[in-house]
Amino acid sequence: MERKRNRGLFITLEGPEGSGKSTQIPALAAWLVAQGLEVVRTREPGGTRIGEEIRTLLHDPANVELAPLTEILLYSASRAQHVAEVIRPALEAGQIVLCDRYFDSTYAYQGYGRGLDLPVLREITQFATGGLTPDLTCYLDIKPELGLRRRKQGGEEMNRLDRETLDFHRRVRAGYVELAAEEPERWVTVDAAQSIEQVRLELRAILERRLLTLHACDN
């Protein structure tokens, strides 16, 4: 994977279902904009017209026959389009990209969750992204029991993956914990069982520190 720092800043948020990413991202983006920064807020699967069509297909609970290999290729197809159309151009223009999920979701869900071979997933990902790696990954950690309960209570629509077994979601979480431990310089873990406000403040402090470090490096 590409270790050279991107010209802009590529930040991803990761976490199991109900970890609160979609609540936190708008607040984080608004805070970055208030600091005078240019921010592109986006998500996976999706983020482009074509990617959003792929998202609909992937999340439709009616698509029960979707084979694991087809699933990974569809997530990767959405990602290839996203990198080419949105993420790379924004980074080249010096902007901050704030992305709800990226390739670590593939490793956590399709790798640890479904049990697909991780080295193969890494090769497919390398092909789809050209090796574009986030500068910073904020991991919102939560027990699947609590996350899934929150999601149901929030009245959110349950997608095809939400309907997986509790064991599947436990493997996904354990996968995230392992991925975060493998690359401590890229990952920061936040306890998402805390209040929304507490998580918001922690995320803001993490970004503040990262922006200060970058500023120091650039000068």
Strand duo 136-141 + 187-191: pairing: parallel
CB 14 within 8 A of CB 104: yes
Q: Is 99 in the site for ligand TMP (CB under 6 A)?
A: no
Among candidates 88, 210, 84, which has minimal Cα distance to 138?
A: 210
Write down the least CB distance from residue 156 to ligand TMP, Å: 8
Give the binding range for ligand TMP (CB under 6 A) out of 91-99, 101-109, 128-136, 142-150: 101-109
CB 149 within 8 A of CB 199: no
Write down the least CB distance from residue 37 to ligand TMP, Å: 24
Write down the least CB distance from residue 72 to ligand TMP, Å: 8
Shorter beta-carbon distance to ligand TMP: residue 37 or 126: 126
Among candidates 116, 76, 123, 105, which has minimal Cα distance to 176?
A: 105
Structure tokens at 197: 């406000």
Task: Map residues 55-84 to x or -, x wherever contact with ligand TMP holds by CB under 6 A.
Answer: --------------------x---------
Alpha-carbon Rg for the chain, nearest whole angstrom, is: 17
CB 132 within 8 A of CB 10: yes
Q: Is 112 in the site for ligand TMP (CB under 6 A)?
A: no
Q: Is 176 in the site for ligand TMP (CB under 6 A)?
A: no
Among candidates 10, 59, 19, which has minimal Cα distance to 142?
A: 19
Give the binding range for ligand TMP (CB under 6 A) out of 89-97, 104-112, 131-139, 207-215: 104-112
Task: Map residues 6-45 to x or -, x wherever contact with ligand TMP holds by CB under 6 A.
Answer: -----------x-------------------------xxx
Identity of the residue numbered 137: T
Q: Is 173 in the site for ligand TMP (CB under 6 A)?
A: no
- For CA atoms 77, 159, 175, 211, the dihedral sign is positive
Q: Tell me which residues touch ligand TMP (CB under 6 A).
A: 17, 43-45, 75, 101, 105-106, 109-110, 159, 161
